[in-house]
A and B are shown apart, each in its own frame.
Chain A
Amino acid sequence: MEFFKIKKDIPFMRHALVFNVVSFITFAAAVFFLFYKGLHLSVEFTGGTVMEVSYSQTADLTKIRSTVSSLGYTDIQVQNFGNSRDVMIRLPAQKGVSSAQQSERVMSALKVDAADVVMRRTEFVGPQVGEELAQDGLKALAFVVLGIMIYLAMRFEWKFAVAAIIANLHDVVIILGFFAFFEWEFSLTVLAAVLAVLGYSVNESVVIFDRIRENFKRYRKMNSHEIIDNAITSTISRTIITHGCTQLMVLSMLMFGGPTLHYFALALTIGICFGIYSSVFVAAAIAMWLGIKREDLVKAVAKKEGYEAVDPNDPNAGATV
């Protein structure tokens, strides 16, 4: 089997401007929704109580809502979770009421209405914990971005590092934009997914950059444009297949993982799809705008990895097409 029977290098870079405009528009839309609608943060970040209760029959959400609000809570959310019998109730963090007795009060009130209600899960997070988690999340993001940039700058060159990070941060913002637009719940696990995707889709850029470096060494007559086109074309089948495989796993989580893993898998799906797009079309284009040259790479590489440049076992060493 072979999906990719590509005869000539695809001239990706000729359309680089178009791709960059497309990603800029998506990016701008994501930023707009992030500011306009904001992230629907889970209780882990905001503080408050979440309860998951299960009824033996279809739950009457209106009645549950009125029962809970009769206890004196304002700004509560009651919604189905996974199926019509499971209900998720969110209570806001109350200043002054720091005790975690809330869930019991609500539970006993619900039991009065319907004796068959079963508590599946409760979660209470104090406001100060939420703040810390949000801070730690930002710290982790900064750490990942810096770490990856330093590594890429060491391994390749700063232009690649900048290009890869811009391309992949643009993915992160777009994932967040999706979560803002659809009002999906942004929890700690989703944050983990976002960071994992960041590390993962940088891979993609790395693979292409690796090929660009190799091509600079191998095809001395090509210009940067052609070299990048060739690099993307020759790695595209690998890109699609690996991402496809990872996506198969993520899809399986989305289908069988249940509501707890739902948003986790969703964030990964968006991240993987946009990861392909951004590393193929955005990262290389940015690297091109930044003006990567043969001299930048080949010299630096010849010093560090001299063995590769004159690999005696390489049948293609020095070959040109």
Chain B
Amino acid sequence: MNRYPLWKYITIGVVLLISILYTLPNLYGEAPAVQVSPARSSSKVDTALMGKVEQALKDGGVVPDGIALDGASIKARFKDTDNQLKAKDVLQKALIPDANEANYIVALNLLPRTPAWLQALHAAPMYLGLDLRGGVHFMLQVDMRDVVAKKAEALVNDLRSVLRDKNIRHSGISRDQNNVEIKFREQAILNKAKDVVQEQFQDYLMSESPDGTDFKLTLTPKPQAVLKTQEQALKQNITTLHNRINELGVAEPVIAQQGLERIVVQLPGVQDTAKAKDILGRTATLEMRLVDESTEGRMAESGAAAVPFGSEKFLQRDGRAVIVKKQVIITGESLNDAQTGFDSQTQQPKVDLTVDAKGGRIMRDVSRENLKKRMAIVLFEKGKGEVLTAPTIQAELGNRFQISGAMNVTEANDLALLLRAGSLAAPMEIIEERTIGPSLGADNIEKGFNSVTWGFVVIIGFMCAYYMMFGLFSSLALGINLILLLSVLSMLQATLTLPGVAAMALALGMAIDSNVLINERVREELRHGASPQAAIHAGYERAWATILDSNVTTLIAGLALLAFGSGPVRGFAVVHCLGILTSMFSAVLFSRGLVNLWYGRRPKLKTLSVGTVWKPEEK
């Protein structure tokens, strides 16, 4: 009765093999590496660039251990940190001739030393959390009230111009928090206005109410419209953050949305928090200016003459120079929105811009006087300007106008994004910050490792002494549990943190519970006079119900932590829950397999090596 069918042994064997394979990458450690990634959307990382990198390294006399094109970046591994630093200098010189015009980011990184045959199996080591490798963690809160209020402000302006165009006379438009109120003298005019709103502003709900002798129409944004606005604002802020963090040259930044109004930024390896915060909080500015179309200006554009007085020279994205007047027409503050769309006549991609009322008035005056001339949109970041686009003014502009022309869809999207990136969609505030020095990270790894190892060794020692052979089986099962847990975590590419390591230690301490239950039961059966084979069978059978019960209650606690925990608690909970699941396999199935293999084939078994089976004498 204590024999497993062959397929069960095979299953156990296969599971073991797989888990060992996927645990292996964690043992190889990490190699110093240099990573080249694009700094802007227009720069491409491809095989051509890889050739360039290889050539540059060869010329610089640095021999990489391996070089690979991985998604959107090129990663080169080196023997030691000396070679790594040298390679970084070499590559920086080769790929970034002008520090102000960086197309690529060259950053130091650590790459797992996983051998190629394991990589082919998609086996990769666990990712170490910030508390183990050092770095900065920020949580930013986006001020959504501001976003919605801005939107309402924009609506006031839109309504004004639309009602004026339609010749509908109102006696005042005002904003009351997120709602907009329009007052009318007569009901008939209000009805006319209602039709217009119905047609043009579908994101709003309308309600009428008398206001003294006047009539009031209140526009309230629909909940899904508010949600959409907030979502867009968050996305835009994330994009802006991406662009800015690229400058920091962090190898693997994490920028992720958390909930509806929060963004988490993690920068492994960055120690200079002051600079990081400065860059995150910086506001880029956008300016619209006229292009200097005088003869001197045109000459300067081709480089044939000096830049005329009162003008400045900026570069366009493609590198062409544009001479722009110093006088600013409007700034990014006036820009409410920039969206891509398609021209209804030509079906060409376009970017629609919306500016506020004041901006609209200025635009109207300037465009009227400067028809058929060019207007440049300049984005300033780090005090350095860049011309995003310089289209020709085709008609008199209002507070809504469009940029169209020789653009494809991607370019139009990029332009809209950059226009919006000129200012963060909404102000952000750092509500959580964590910095962990690299020495502390290394300390934490060592301490976590030590606690797991020593606890493990002492438990094994005790189990073997107390339960003899069965103790050895239990210890083997515990070892397998550790390997299983590590392999599952590696397969899931989970982030290992110090609380995660603590959970691992705790999981091992708790997992031995199942084996103790089984061993005690076997002893008890022997004490009651059962034959060795029957004792093994009954011991495992009866302990199973108890093991299941106790693991379910522990799992309930683990799931609660997973559901409600955040940050460090989550890391703990993931390992805790997985540890419980793997322990069920190893403690019951695997240890029974070992016992069956050892004892199951001996029908005339007289004794079990399960330690002292003590019997009270009077029985």
Q: Are A137 and B459 in contact (CB under 8 A)?
A: no
**B513 contacts the other chain (CB 8 A):** yes
Q: Are A195 and B506 in contact (CB under 8 A)?
A: no
Complex CA–CA separation, A247 to B274 (angstroms): 43
Complex CA–CA separation, A261 to B618 (angstroms): 49
**Contacts of B520 on A, CB cut-off 8 Å?**
235, 237-238, 241
**Contacts of A234 on B, CB cut-off 8 Å?**
524
Q: Are B462 and A191 in contact (CB under 8 A)?
A: no
**A282 contacts the other chain (CB 8 A):** no
**A18 contacts the other chain (CB 8 A):** no
**A257 contacts the other chain (CB 8 A):** yes
Q: Are B433 and A140 in contact (CB under 8 A)?
A: no
User: Of residues 568 to 582 in B, which have CB atoms within 8 Å of A's CB atoms?
Assistant: 568-569, 572-573, 576
B521-564: contact bitstring with A at CB < 8 Å (1 yes, 0 no)? Answer: 00010001010001001100100011001101111111111011
**Contacts of B458 on A, CB cut-off 8 Å?**
248, 252
**Contacts of B463 on A, CB cut-off 8 Å?**
245
Q: Are B435 and A122 in contact (CB under 8 A)?
A: yes
Contact partner of B565 (CB less than 8 A), chosen from A136, A247, A256, A258, is A136
**Contacts of B558 on A, CB cut-off 8 Å?**
196, 199
Q: Are B510 and A139 in contact (CB under 8 A)?
A: no
**Contacts of B617 on A, CB cut-off 8 Å?**
7
| Band of interface residues on A | 35 or more
Q: Are B513 and A245 in contact (CB under 8 A)?
A: yes
**A80 contacts the other chain (CB 8 A):** no
Q: Are A257 and B546 in contact (CB under 8 A)?
A: no
Shortest CB distance A56–B (Å): 12
Q: Are B576 and A206 in contact (CB under 8 A)?
A: no
Q: Are B557 and A123 in contact (CB under 8 A)?
A: no
**A316 contacts the other chain (CB 8 A):** yes
Contact partner of B561 (CB less than 8 A), chosen from A196, A242, A250, is A196
**B502 contacts the other chain (CB 8 A):** yes
Cβ-closest chain A residue relative to B518: A238
**Contacts of B28 on A, CB cut-off 8 Å?**
none
Which of the candidate stretches A32-40, A58-66, A99-107, A175-183 sits at the interface with the other chain?
A99-107
A103-117: contact bitstring with B at CB < 8 Å (1 yes, 0 no)? Answer: 110000000000000
Contact partner of B447 (CB less than 8 A), chosen from A125, A198, A203, A258, is A258
Complex CA–CA separation, A207 to B550 (angstroms): 7
Complex CA–CA separation, A207 to B556 (angstroms): 17
Q: Are A121 and B434 in contact (CB under 8 A)?
A: yes
**A73 contacts the other chain (CB 8 A):** no
User: Of residues 426 to 450 in B, which have CB atoms within 8 Å of A's CB atoms?
Assistant: 429-437, 439-440, 443-444, 447-448, 450
Main SS at interface, chain B: helix
Which of the candidate stretches A20-28, A141-149, A284-292 sits at the interface with the other chain?
A141-149
**Contacts of B273 on A, CB cut-off 8 Å?**
103-104, 122
Complex CA–CA separation, A126 to B431 (angstroms): 5
A118-B437, A148-B556 known; A2 vs B430 contact (CB < 8 Å): no
Q: Are A203 and B513 in contact (CB under 8 A)?
A: yes
**B177 contacts the other chain (CB 8 A):** no
Q: Are B549 and A155 in contact (CB under 8 A)?
A: yes
Q: Are A257 and B561 in contact (CB under 8 A)?
A: no
Complex CA–CA separation, A188 to B432 (angstroms): 14
Q: Are B434 and A206 in contact (CB under 8 A)?
A: no
Complex CA–CA separation, A242 to B512 (angstroms): 7
**Contacts of A245 on B, CB cut-off 8 Å?**
459, 462-463, 509, 512-513, 516
Cβ-closest chain A residue relative to B504: A249
A192-216: contact bitstring with B at CB < 8 Å (1 yes, 0 no)? Answer: 1001101110110011001000000
Q: Are B499 and A7 in contact (CB under 8 A)?
A: no
A1-B466, A196-B506 known; A257 vs B448 contact (CB < 8 Å): yes
Q: Are A256 and B498 in contact (CB under 8 A)?
A: no
Q: Are A261 and B509 in contact (CB under 8 A)?
A: no
Complex CA–CA separation, A316 to B525 (angstroms): 9
10 inter-chain pairs at a CB distance below 8 angstroms, sorted by A residue, are: A2-B611, A120-B439, A123-B433, A143-B564, A151-B553, A238-B516, A246-B506, A268-B506, A313-B537, A316-B538
Given contacts A140-B561, A242-B517, A248-B509, 16 further A-B contacts (CB under 8 A): A104-B273, A121-B436, A121-B440, A123-B434, A123-B435, A126-B432, A129-B139, A140-B564, A196-B503, A200-B554, A202-B554, A203-B549, A242-B512, A246-B509, A260-B444, A268-B506
